[in-house]
Amino acid sequence: MAHVAVIINPIAGTGGRAGVGHTRAMRATALLEARGLEADVCVSASPGHARDLAAAALQRGASTVVAWGGDGTVNEVASALAFRDAALAIVPSGSGNGLARELGIPFEPTAAFAVAFDGHDRVIDAGELDGRLFFNIAGIGLDAEVAHQFAAGGLKRRGLARYIEITARQLLAYLPEAYTIEIDGIAIRQTSLIVALANARQYGNGALIAPAAKVDDGLLDVVVVAARSPWRVLVQVPRIFLGQIARVPGVTIRNAREVAITSARPIRYHVDGEPNVGGSRLAGRVHSAALRIKVPVRTTS
């Protein structure tokens, strides 16, 4: 009998509402049992807990581990499954759901579980920044500052509206910094609003930061956005949603296997939206064919 584990973030997409974790756990158990599968359903309790639960599920012999949550939950579970034989499946319920959108995972939970049961395995790359794996987008600059502020807001105020509010506020307050960015040994020195390392195309919600990125090409798309006024950013934002960021003046996009970013002070960054602080130099690279993930049978992108 196949062993499927489900790891639920009770906060993702809930606005802090009580009881959601229990409701999701009951639904997951019913869906598993209806398929005659061994039920192994866990609810995470704190940051990092989903990674520990996924590692424990692997030790119990799980062949598929379902991450029911947002980009952070997916990152934690995928980090435990990377370079292993088990497959990741996603039930998206976060603010951005960037990787789920990229892979065509349905948002309705029953349909998403059907992909976990009946979908096919796709092998994708993983990125690494400062020793932390990511599977969608990592970066420094404005998007990292937004990630830090979003996390600092606690559990009650989350979701897309909160992201937009923080982004608008940080756009007016954020001071871009000077970086040296080495892309496969070629250096770029400039003051940058954003430096994004993209394994996939979008942050989420259709914001295409790297429109040509592919999750399985063995490369990262490094997107460097030069500093500019907040008003210029506002005028140019629609081009991100139209997949036209490469046409925006002061934007450089290059493929890379290895990246190094240097600053005069410790660098705040994010991996799949999860905030971190590193030293004054961050090293990044790509790991080809690092993760098996369940996708809809008709997904071809």
Q: Say how far apart CA 32 and CA 27 lie, in whole Å.
A: 9
Q: Could you tell me if 254 and 222 are in contact, meaning their C-beta atoms sit under 8 angstroms apart? A: yes
Is 274 considered catalytic here?
yes
Return the bridge partners of 253, or none.
223
Residues 74 and 53: their CA atoms lie apart, in Å, by: 12
Structure tokens at 135: 């599977």
Which value, in Å, is the radius of gyration of the alpha carbons in the chain?
Answer: 19
CA atoms within 13 A on the CB side of 240: 18
* Residues ≥6 apart with Cβ < 8 Å to 140: 179, 194, 195, 261, 267, 268, 269, 270, 282
Backbone φ/ψ region at 247: left (φ over 0), alpha (ψ -120 to 50), beta:
alpha
The two tokens of residue 267 are 């660098």
CA distances from 19 to 2, 11, 25, 27, 33 (A): 29, 10, 10, 13, 21
d(CA 255, CA 96) in angstroms, rounded, equals 24
Please count the other Cβ atoms lying within 10 Å of the Cβ belonging to residue 3: 16
Find the catalytic residue in 76, 102, 145, 274: 274
Question: Which residues does the annotation mark as catalytic?
Answer: 274
